[in-house]
Structure 1
Amino acid sequence: MESSAGQADSVAAPEGMAGLGFAPGDKGLKTGAISYISNVVIAVASTAPGYSLAATLGFIVAVAGIGLQAPAVILLAFIPMGCIAAAYNYMNRADPDCGTTFSWVTLAMGPRIGWMSGWAVLVADVLVMPSLAQIAGIYSCQLFGFDDPSTIVVTIIGVVWIVLMTAICYIGIELSARTQQLLLGMEFATLSLFAVVALVKVYTSDPRGAIHPAFSWFNPLEISSTGALAGGILLGIFIYWGWDSAVSVNEETEDGATSSGKAAVVSTFILLGIYVVVATASQAFGGVQSLIDNQTDVFAPIAKDVLGSPLDKLLIIAVLTSASASTQTTILPATRTSLSMARKGALAKRFGDVHPRYLTPSVSTIWMGAVSAFVFILLSVFSQNLIADAFTSLSLTIAFYYGITGVACTWFYRHHLFASVKNFLYLAVLPMLGAIILAYVFVKATIEYSKADGGYAKAVLGIGSPVIITIIMIVLGIVLLIYQHMTQPEFFTRKPEPVDPEIAATVTQRIVKGAA
């Protein structure tokens, strides 16, 4: 484990990458600070499993034509996530840079699309923070019996959570990892207890409205239309987003070039398991109508019936810890992306500063916390609906930067795709399948959210506010790109190029041997 920026700088870059300025460990971050297990924990915690299920499952069930097939939708939504996780894994092996999507897309496809990909990561992380902070504020109040807190109270508590989690990220990656282990452990224990008790009661006491699980729940062919299936998957993708945080801390992870990508892949399977089990238990115990009637929090009406009082408070704690943990892990990829962008000349140099003692992105972390708090306060003042619409617009940003990473992976390894069947499968089929599905999601979401009733807030010029928010972010990104091009043009002179043959040989040998 390294203990100083100077030691971190000593980490060697993969041959062929150092000359391009894409060397890992050269940013002053604390290399080897967290283990593979902590990396997996960060990946899973970033998705906020408890919060994601509580806030999304009801909406999936409510899509006309899905109903009992919600577990099938969760299974299908896993496919593009698993495919893109594979792309992250193999891009990370060749270029273990904490800038992840920004660094890889720049390397494979050029600086301009790389810059916009990095911007998309930053936008996604900022837009989700108001929703997470709001949930943290609401559930903090509910934990102490205040079931109807005012907007001001929720906002103040939410900002406190943002400040607290920003401070933890600032102090060090090791403290962040330990905090995540504690929070995720509590969350998983509670969700597991809830699922087991709910299913036992379904079969032993047959609660009112309960339904015995059936294999048809997991069969996507039971869904009545492709439109319903697409709408469900669009929602389902939300609950998986965030596992890429594991790769964003690759330069601080033991053997990060290998273990971080593997952690991302493993985390998607862990999420699949917990989501399917808890969704099945919730649906079986409460029935479809209960989930539909309580779409913003499907656990609320059944928690006391499942666990009894006061154990029902455990579910409140699970959702609270889920939102607070995700608040922290959302800061990590944003700050590492901006750090990488700054070090490569794609952002102001100040964002590349690393704290001499804590070895964390100091300026980037402070900025991420400050901007997140500002956006949360701003949206809270104008409209609570805008917080929901900012969260809704995430599907467009997620689909873009995950999808473009899949394309970049295939293009980066293009000269090695046909070296073996496994190469073609892992470097072409899986990444491009994920990219194609996400491209469809992008188009579908744009169409749906552009309708006048596509958001919670009032439409602007007849266009739904989720799409308006996305357009504003794109325009702002283009303006900043032009400004950066004028002030620091050197970055934009970079030329894309395929993977170095020696690096490709190492990566593809692992594929042929079946190494993860």
Structure 2
Amino acid sequence: MTQDRLETETSLQRAIDYENHQLQAGGVSKAGSALMAVAGSAPAYSIAASTALLIGAAGVGAPGALLWCGIPMLGIAFAFGYLARVDTHAGASFSWVARGLHPLLGFFAGWAVVISATIFMVAGALPAGAMTVALFAPDQANNTLLVTLVGSVWFLVMAAAVIFGVHTTERAQWVMSIIEVGILVVFAIIAIPRAITTYHHGQAFSWDWFGFGHLTTAGVFVSAALIAAFYYWGWDVTANLGEETKNAHKTTGWAGIIGIIIVFILFEVYTSTSLVMLPGKTIQDNAANVLGVLGDAIMPGIGGKIMIIAVALSTIATLETTLVQVSRTLFAMGRDRTIPFAFGRINRKWKTPVFATLVVVIVSLLLFVLANVFGDSVGQILGWAVSSIGLQIAFYYSLAGFAVVIGFRKVLLKSVKNFILIGIWPLVGAVFMLYIFIAAFVDNITNGAIIVDYLGVGLLVIGVIPLALFYRKAKEIYFTRRPLEVPEDFSA
């Protein structure tokens, strides 16, 4: 009897703790949620940093790779949207996969978000510093110490915006993302007619670029698809903001879909324009910032500098959204006791997970400084780690896709709309992500890049440590989590 009473009191105390540590409900508007999805995918940064890689992997098949990766990615966005309809949770896939598939898989889905986001922030801070220095002091562009310091300052500024409340986070995104996307749209309007009527040292545009014809082998397709996944990744920050978004049950899903559609259009326009207006050698020689060179081709004289502004803002904005995503995931994991509960506490004034945010900031800054101060060895390791992010993204996206299909299985045949949007399309996305995960893993072994597999999967396996340490504490809260509760009349 005493033991039963003790367990009851413990459960009651945990329920009180859970209630006392809630994020700011309604802090993000509907429009702000969609804006976060666009900012999370970082269109200008993605185009600048990844275009050369994508074209190097697929040639003129690059637009096709973006299309054929975008379609299944939209299926994952549908999965996130419908899962959010029945379970609005800061942990997003951490909770959904647990309830739709199994808590152990859910834990590793959350762990994959934490690992991939932390690594990305380390990789993103350097371009933020480099672009700022290139804009204001181009003669110091190769000054590693200066670039590191400026990148660190930007990272700390964005961390402060995240800590001081979701309203501050959203306001910062409105300023940065509106300017960034505005620049990209204006330059696209100028570039498209020129690309159609003539081409400058590149290739004549062809609609064949969007087919499978140029994705000649399975290896080419997998390599290109993995890079394309990097382009889109980040839109799902809207799901992690679910507990802080107005009418989140419907808003977060559609915000993610709108975000993917917007960045898809921008990605296709700029990838195709790069192929038309720039020679292949120029693209590869300027792999770190293709967008700057393209800006000069579109608007000679000043275009490159304007594009540098767009890339800098995009990089800074995505540092903020990524920090939001990882801090909310850690908060949810801590609140559910799968990691120390300190991560699950919020600041009473700002209603944000300050401890979780500060831990990520300290770890990221430490890795960032080590990578840039101690030379190529650490930098190379981080380069491999960044390549491993694709494996982690594909892992947790595929789990979320399967979770919605299995979790909603009883309502899939209620209507054609349910069958397509909750069943077939997310299933295609899940299978696609699982395929590129397995194929990329095997391809890395074949091509001697096994270190990427060790990091990509190895960093996931490290999650076994907190899992073992905190399993008993989380057993009653997380590891016995009830299945998804889907109404029998649920309609897409």
Q: TM-score, normalised by structure 1?
A: 0.87
Count of matched residue positions in the alignment of Structure 1 and Structure 2: 474
The residue that corresponds to 2:146 in the other structure is: 153
**Which deviates the most, 78-87 or 362-371?**
362-371
Q: Deviations over 1:90-126 (max 9, x none)?
A: 0000001111000111122232221111111101110
Contact 2:61 2:210 in 1 (8 A): yes
Within a 5 Å distance, the mapping from 1:258-297 to structure 2 comes to 258-297=250-289
SS in 2 for 1:37: helix
**Equivalent in 322, 327, 349 of residue 319 of structure 2:** 327
Within a 5 Å distance, the mapping from 1:137-286 to structure 2 comes to 137-144=129-136, 145-146=138-139, 148-202=141-195, 206=198, 208-286=200-278
SS in 2 for 1:433: helix
Within a 5 Å distance, the mapping from 1:90-489 to structure 2 comes to 90-144=82-136, 145-146=138-139, 148-202=141-195, 206=198, 208-380=200-372, 381=374, 382-450=377-445, 453-454=448-449, 463-464=450-451, 466-486=452-472, 488-489=474-475
How far residue 147 of structure 1 moved from its aligned partner, in angstroms, is 5.4
Give the distance between the partners of 1:491 and 1:146, measured in 2 at CA. Answer: 56
The root-mean-square deviation of aligned C-alpha atoms, in Å, is 2.3
**Which deviates the most, 315-324 or 294-303?**
294-303
How far residue 372 of structure 1 moved from its aligned partner, in angstroms, is 1.5
How far residue 32 of structure 1 moved from its aligned partner, in angstroms, is 1.1
Contact 2:338 2:473 in 1 (8 A): no
- CA spacing shift, 1:487–1:32, aligned 2, 3 Å: closer
- CA spacing shift, 1:449–1:227, aligned 2, 3 Å: closer
Percent identity at matched positions?
27
Stretches of structure 2 that go unaligned for 5 or more consecutive residues are: 1-13
SS in 2 for 1:302: helix
The residue that corresponds to 1:459 in the other structure is: none
Give the distance between the partners of 1:468 and 1:440, measured in 2 at CA. Answer: 18
How far residue 210 of structure 1 moved from its aligned partner, in angstroms, is 3.7
**Which deviates the most, 123-132 or 381-390?**
381-390
Q: Deviations over 1:314-333 (max 9, x none)?
A: 11111111111000000111
- CA spacing shift, 1:378–1:342, aligned 2, 3 Å: same
- CA spacing shift, 1:495–1:186, aligned 2, 3 Å: closer
Q: Deviations over 1:277-307 (max 9, x none)?
A: 1212222111334323333322243332322
SS in 1 for 2:213: helix
The residue that corresponds to 1:77 in the other structure is: 69
- CA spacing shift, 1:384–1:39, aligned 2, 3 Å: same
Amino acid at match of 2:233: W
Amino acid at match of 2:351: L
How far residue 182 of structure 1 moved from its aligned partner, in angstroms, is 1.1
**Equivalent in 470, 476, 491 of residue 490 of structure 1:** 476
Amino acid at match of 2:56: A
Give the distance between the partners of 1:487 and 1:154, measured in 2 at CA. Answer: 43
Amino acid at match of 2:487: A
SS in 2 for 1:135: helix
How far residue 481 of structure 1 moved from its aligned partner, in angstroms, is 1.0
Amino acid at match of 2:173: Q
Give the distance between the partners of 1:164 and 1:386, measured in 2 at CA. Answer: 27
Give the distance between the partners of 1:185 and 1:52, measured in 2 at CA. Answer: 16
The residue that corresponds to 2:44 in the other structure is: 50
Give the distance between the partners of 1:292 and 1:149, measured in 2 at CA. Answer: 19
How far residue 222 of structure 1 moved from its aligned partner, in angstroms, is 4.1
Contact 1:29 1:252 in 2 (8 A): yes
How far residue 36 of structure 1 moved from its aligned partner, in angstroms, is 0.8
Q: TM-score, normalised by structure 2?
A: 0.91
How far residue 376 of structure 1 moved from its aligned partner, in angstroms, is 1.6
Contact 1:140 1:320 in 2 (8 A): yes
SS in 2 for 1:312: helix
How far residue 489 of structure 1 moved from its aligned partner, in angstroms, is 4.2
The residue that corresponds to 2:488 in the other structure is: 505
Give the distance between the partners of 1:434 and 1:203, measured in 2 at CA. Answer: 33
Give the distance between the partners of 1:369 and 1:421, measured in 2 at CA. Answer: 46
How far residue 363 of structure 1 moved from its aligned partner, in angstroms, is 1.1
Give the distance between the partners of 2:129 and 2:381, measured in 1 at CA. Answer: 17
Give the distance between the partners of 2:259 and 2:294, measured in 1 at CA. Answer: 28
The residue that corresponds to 1:39 in the other structure is: 33
Amino acid at match of 2:341: K
Give the distance between the partners of 1:480 and 1:433, measured in 2 at CA. Answer: 32
Contact 2:115 2:460 in 1 (8 A): no
Give the distance between the partners of 2:237 and 2:290, measured in 1 at CA. Answer: 27
How far residue 495 of structure 1 moved from its aligned partner, in angstroms, is 5.0
SS in 1 for 2:220: helix
Amino acid at match of 1:297: N
Give the distance between the partners of 2:179 and 2:283, measured in 1 at CA. Answer: 24
- CA spacing shift, 1:187–1:446, aligned 2, 3 Å: same
Give the distance between the partners of 1:310 and 1:271, measured in 2 at CA. Answer: 24
Q: Deviations over 1:163-212 (max 9, x none)?
A: 111100000111111111111111112222322333344456x4640434
SS in 1 for 2:463: helix
Contact 2:410 2:488 in 1 (8 A): no
- CA spacing shift, 1:442–1:358, aligned 2, 3 Å: same
Contact 2:202 2:280 in 1 (8 A): no
- CA spacing shift, 1:25–1:47, aligned 2, 3 Å: farther
Q: Deviations over 1:224-274 (max 9, x none)?
A: 333322221121111000100011111111101110111011111111111
How far residue 340 of structure 1 moved from its aligned partner, in angstroms, is 1.3
The residue that corresponds to 1:29 in the other structure is: 23
**Which deviates the most, 477-486 or 212-221?**
212-221
Amino acid at match of 2:488: A
Stretches of structure 1 that go unaligned for 5 or more consecutive residues are: 1-19, 455-462, 512-516
